[in-house]
Amino acid sequence: MIVITGSSGFIGSSILSDLLNGGCDVDSLHHNSDDETIREKLKNCKILIHCAGVNRSDVIQDFWDGNYEYTKKICSYLQDKNNKLQIIFLSSIQIEASEEKKDVYSLSKKMAENELVNLAKKIKCRLDILRLPNIFGLGCRPNYNSVVATFLHNAKNREKLNIIEDREIKLIHIDKVLIRINKLIKSKNNRNINYISFKKYHYIKVSTLKNIIINLNTKEYNNENSLIKKLNEIYRES
């Protein structure tokens, strides 16, 4: 049994759909699942894909509750599991930022990582920590935490594309995440704790991304460019 937390979010729902389509035995936990439901579902869990978390809020405590405290609760229900358990935790590359650039989100995700590492060491289970860059794809919610989704939505609706900070960002399509998740599930790796990152991603300035998206419907782009090809697909299908 595979259990996915945060299955109502963009990444979690994409993983859930992909695994179900692949014929996997999958169950899910939502943000409103009560403690008894969490306990019961984790009891039969062989693989836990932990996607749940808070990455945007005006209330600082939401980050601690949604990222750290929730992970701590999950770990408390897994104390009696054995080394046959596999945990895949979707973390963030923001954890790797310099100290002066770290925010409450990255700090709360790092503390969540620490809780899972302590659990994995105690029960000797396999823990795969997947540190993700910015994820984009069809179904990603605009005006939340994805500049790609927001720009595409605004361009489609002929609204202004505002740049808050013109910085370089790392992007990866959701399909790459799904492929990696499937590889981790099938992998026979027996190492206790594994830190995993993507070596290939799109590195682009926000202003460049804006210009590409503004012109998606007016210019003929070379489809060999995988980023532009994916942006075109999302623009047309959304």
3-state SS, one letter per residue, for the chain? CEEEECCCCHHHHHHHHHHHHCCCCEEEECCCCCHHHHHHHHHCCCEEEECCCCCCCCCHHHHHHHHHHHHHHHHHCCCCCCCCCEEEEEEEHHHHCCHHHCCHHHHHHHHHHHHHHHHHHHHCCEEEEEEECEEECCCCCCCCCCHHHHHHHHHHCCCCCCCCCCCEEEEEEHHHHHHHHHHHHHCCCCCCEEEEECCCCEEEEHHHHHHHHHCCCCCCCCCCCHHHHHHHHHHHHC
The most confident of the ranges 74-88, 98-112, 167-181 is 167-181
Q: Which residues are catalytic?
A: 105
Q: What is the pLDDT of residue 189?
A: 85
Domains in the chain, CATH or no CATH each: 2-237 (3.40.50.720)
Q: How far apart are CA 85 and CA 74, in angstroms?
A: 13
Q: At what angle do helices 206-214 and 226-237 cross, to 10 degrees?
A: 50
Q: Looking at the chain, how many residues does it have? A: 238
Reported confidence tier of residue 223, pLDDT bands at 50, 70, 90: low
What are the tokens at 63? 């980050």
Percent of the chain predicted with pLDDT > 70: 95
- Whole-model pTM? 0.92
**Position 12 pLDDT exceeds 80:** yes
Mean pLDDT of 124-128: 95
CA-based radius of gyration for the chain = 19
Question: Is the pLDDT score of 157 beyond 70?
Answer: yes
CA-wise closest residue to 52 among 42, 44, 238, 196: 42
Position 219 scores a pLDDT of: 61
**Strand 168-173 vs strand 202-205: parallel, antiparallel, or unpaired?**
antiparallel
State pLDDT tens for residues 48-92.
999 999 988 889 999 999 999 999 999 999 998 877 899 999 999
Over residues 134-156, the mean pLDDT reads 92
pLDDT at residue 100 in the model: 66
Encoded tokens for 18: 């992909």
Q: What is the structure's pLDDT at 129?
A: 98
Q: How confident is the model at residue 193 (pLDDT cuts 50, 70, 90)?
A: very high
Q: What is the mean pLDDT of residues 169-195?
A: 94
CB atoms within 10 A of CB 103: 11
pLDDT of residue 220: 60
Is it the case that residue 221 has pLDDT exceeding 90?
no
- Comparing CA positions, the residue from 150, 134, 132 lying closest to residue 238 is 150
pLDDT at 222: 55
Ranking 37-46, 202-211, 222-231 by mean pLDDT, the lowest is 222-231
